[in-house]
Amino acid sequence: MDMEILPLTEKKPLPKDESSLVFGKEFTDRMFLMEYQTGRGWHSARIKPYAPFILDPAAMVLHYAQEIFEGLKAFRREDGTVALFRPADNVARFNRGARRMCMPEVDEAFFLEAIKKLVKIEEEWVPRSEGTSLYIRPTMIATEPMLGVRPADQYYCYVILSPVGAYYKGGLAPVKIWISDHHVRAAHGGTGEVKTGGNYAASLYAAREAAAKGYDQVLWLDAKEKKYIEEVGSMNICFLYDGKLVTSPLHGTILDGITRRSVLALAREMGREVEERALSIDEIFAGAESGRLTEAFGTGTAVVVSPIGQFTYRDKTVVLGDGKTTGEFTKKLYDTLTDIQYGRVPDPHGWVETL
């Protein structure tokens, strides 16, 4: 498929103050868009000025939430070049999500090239200050105007870019976690392993409840027994337990995070044993009290690693360490991963793709 590059009609000013960038609020001058029609396939791929869509009010995405998205970042490296982190993994996950949501798959090589081309054209938007990046949001939505419940036969697949500030301004800071004993994020057989909008809409209520009680994030338990740890907010979760890295297995209800995957690989290289197993809430409380559980952290593209300082379940709270200091291993993983992303150290894994 060819890709057209349409002229820019209006140029926005670049962010004046990179330190005040708010996550996902500002977008670059251009976007990528292609359209799908059953029988015709994907067509009309183009890079065009960033602009609102005209959508029919009956567009199926607005009613039945047939949509998927991705999130990855472009980093400005020490030598001024720009690199993406494991972008082919995001494109592959996008297609796995498309299959689960009965949406058309994209040509992975073409879509990856389209993302790279868009970032290349918008390169000046990749911020330069420490810890900043350009967040990339590939998305697919069902556009067919139709109120019947069935897979649509028209779609948009697009990519938008947003310059984002440093997540941690004053260094890594441990967060307070509230464990919900009532709301669940995903059940077996559902769509928990897909980056699809409905999962996030369903998570808002518990997140708001946690925030109202003064916590930073919700920890989700499994839907069946409400006993095993699944994810935290929209991050995967890892524990340092008996010196081993323990994380929930990929059994359909949690996202197969690319940061999770990278952290597990790095931990193994650092000589840590890695266990992908269901960890129970009792083990967390007992482990924190006995000292067997020393560190815990969330992982995801936006934060890389987010240290956890304390857990609260019903009326019980346990604190890890002093609750305010990031664990040594958590910090080491964060430093190693960000050093690779920003090109401060070599990348022996081939995770980084320069443009």
Ligand X SMILES: *Cc1c(COP(=O)(O)O)cnc(C)c1O
Using CB atoms within 10 Å of the CB of residue 230, give its burial: 0 to 12 exposed, 13 to 18 middle, 19+ buried: buried
Least separation in angstroms between residue 258's CB and ligand X is 4
Nearer to ligand X, 71 or 321 (CB): 71
Report the C-alpha gap between 291 and 285 in whole angstroms.
Answer: 10
Minimum distance from CB of 14 to ligand X (Å)?
A: 26
Closest by CA to 75, choosing from 5, 169, 170, 167, is 167
Shortest gap between Cβ of 192 and ligand X (angstroms)?
Answer: 8
Distance CA 341, CA 355 (A): 13
User: How many residues can be counted in the chain?
Assistant: 355
Q: How far is the CB of 35 from ligand X (least distance, A)?
A: 26
Please name the residue that has the structure tokens 């400005």.
Answer: 76
When the beta carbons of 30 and 260 are compared against ligand X, the nearer one is 260
Nearer to ligand X, 188 or 316 (CB): 188
Distance of closest approach, residue 198 Cβ to ligand X, in angstroms: 12
Dump strand ranges (E) for the chain: 4-5, 30-37, 41-49, 67-69, 72-76, 82-85, 133-142, 154-164, 175-179, 217-221, 229-232, 236-241, 244-247, 274-276, 293-300, 304-313, 316-319, 352-354
Closest CA to 164 of 275, 32, 295, 24: 24
Q: Which is nearer to ligand X, 180 or 301 (CB)?
A: 301
Residues that bind ligand X (CB under 6 A): 71, 195, 231, 234-236, 255, 257-260, 299-301
> Helices (H) and strands (E) in the chain — how many of each?
7, 18
Cβ at position 280, least distance to ligand X in Å: 20
Of the pair 119, 207, the CB lying nearest ligand X is at 207
Residue (30 or 86) nearer to ligand X, CB: 86
Question: Distance between CA 145 and CA 222 in Å, rounded?
Answer: 36
In this complex, which beta carbon is closest to ligand X, that of residue 196 or of residue 294?
196
CB of 87 to ligand X, least distance (A): 11
